[in-house]
Amino acid sequence: MPRVPAVRNRLKDTPVAGTKRVLLAAPRGYCAGVDRAVIAVEKALQHYGAPVYVRKQIVHNIHVVSTLEKQGAIFVDEVEEVPVGSHVVFSAHGVSPAVVQGAADRDLQAIDATCPLVTKVHREAVRFSKADRHILLIGHAGHEEVEGTMGHAPDQTTLVNSPADVATLVVPDPDNLVWLSQTTLSVDETMETVRLLRERFPNLQDPPSDDICYATQNRQVAIKKVAQDADLVIVVGSANSSNTVRLVDVALEYGAKAAYRVDYASEIKQEWLDGVATVGVTSGASVPEVLVQEVLDDLADAGYGSVSQVVTAEEDLMFSLPKELRKDADGNPDERGLGGRRKLDWQLK
Ligand code: SF4
């Protein structure tokens, strides 16, 4: 991803009690599913030429989307906006069967960049609906992932938005329920929702494995550790990125005196740094590392040049690219075909 032209020395180095420093959370930034989805659009542009249509934002990050737009990607809300016969990429958040059918009806050449961990939840939804279970899906109304998952069992799914929803839920049979969740929620809040659900429905069945994905969990564990020593936490990521917004909530819950989300370093306000000795920094799973580097550069201008990483997990998961893209444009095997997980700076240190 290209850098954003920065304005140097925008932030002032004002004195504070104590030594100024940055605690940099790791893991942070790109997960395997996001990396795969972004590479899928880049490779689709190489294979088929511009424009390539993408249904919804490929990942929820404004910089990634604007960069791909400059390369020739056209982002649309629905497949009905895509010219008949064109190539369309489905985003990492996944789609419902109705969207797949809509694309087929228009003879679109669909490339599915749904994260395999979202596909896993889709499969669970299908399996439980075939077994005539009723699904309580814990997730946020209107989020694309939730719409895609609900679309796999539309008549047998009830959405649970928050712990506060539990008391008023109406279900067909309280003894025939299973819960699933969106992949990018707060682990703690989801466990609280499940606890309340089980209080009301003691026979509630658990999913076979965690739906909140490894990347969401790892980034929350890392920021919990950083937050306990931070006067301020800066989370890099976009407002519509669920896992990014959760990182702000988790930082505040685990001891950060203040926490803010920024898309770009230029959004950091001087007054946030008043009296701050330790700044925690992290980024959501859809954030390219270059945006974190720009935050670190601005913080260095303000006297926070000492950066220590707080590493709570190693990540080396890789996903195969969508099958249409595992070869290069000439039909030869592509070196990124079996994964494409790009090593991030924090993994190289
Ligand atoms: S956040 Fe998790 S579910 Fe979403 S794309 Fe990344 S790995 Fe997949």
| Tens of pLDDT, residues 31-87 | 999 999 999 999 999 999 999 999 999 999 999 999 999 999 999 999 999 999 999
What pLDDT sits at residue 348? 44
Nearest atom in ligand 1 to 115's CA = 8
Query: Residue 338 pLDDT more than 60?
Result: no
Nearest to 21 by CA among 263, 308, 317, 316: 308
pTM confidence score: 0.93
Token reading at 238 = 């976009």
What is d(CA 65, CA 37) in angstroms, rounded to the nearest whole number?
12
Sequence-ordered list of residues with C-beta below 8 angstroms from that of 154, at least 6 positions apart, any chain? 96
Distance 207 CA to ligand 1 centre (A): 18
What pLDDT sits at residue 345? 53
Q: Active-site residue 315, yes or no? A: no
Q: What band does 340 get if pLDDT is binned at 50, 70 and 90?
A: very low
Measured in whole angstroms, the distance separating CA 258 from the mean position of its chain's CA atoms is 22
* Among protein residues, the one whose CA lies closest to atom 7 of ligand 1: 33
Mean pLDDT for 179-184 is 97
Distance 160 CA to ligand 1 centre (A): 20
What pLDDT sits at residue 7? 77
